[in-house]
Amino acid sequence: MYHIFILHAPRLVQDGWRDFVHPEGPRVYYHPEKVSTHSEVDNLKCSCTIQKIFTDADMRRGKIDSQTLLTKVDALKARAIDIAGVSARMNEETETVLEVDVGSGNTIESCGYYFVDHTTRMIFWAHMYDCQPDGEVLLNVKAAKRPSHISR
């Protein structure tokens, strides 16, 4: 059984973000409700929204700019909505996990991601991703043990 420990220092974390300690030790940041920053994304006709965002990137004040990261999530959402097979998998419970590479001055150098659907126990992407059965994803995502858990 895992226990998540929420840290009670909200003034240190940027607006909209919460932090907690994952049962395996690292600090994780969580954005429970994604409010789009672009009206063209909001106007897309789709029954899904990306509401839950997780990252291990430092979302405390003075670190990575939250607005910049959320803008990247908007672009990702727009791409996902444009692909029928991806948008069909997305629902109100879909979570987005971001893996951010930070450069000097807390700039975002690159941002990897995957979507999580806990109902079907599947991770998926909006981009083509060649996932090998014994590759990095299956080693780093502990619940993904079979290629059927991974899809595009």
Q: What is the pLDDT along the chain (152 residues), one digit of tens a residue?
A: 555 555 555 468 999 999 888 888 888 999 986 544 444 444 444 444 557 899 999 999 999 999 999 988 888 888 888 888 787 788 778 889 999 999 988 899 988 888 888 888 888 888 777 666 665 655 555 555 556 655 54
In this prediction the pTM is 0.71
Query: Contacts from 97-105 at CB under 8 Å and sequence distance 24+?
Result: 97/53, 97/54, 97/55, 98/53, 98/54, 98/55, 98/57, 98/69, 98/72, 98/73, 99/55, 99/56, 100/55, 100/56, 100/57, 100/64, 100/69, 102/57, 102/58, 102/64
Instruction: Tell me which residue has tokens 């049962």.
Output: 23
Distance CA 73, CA 77 (A): 6
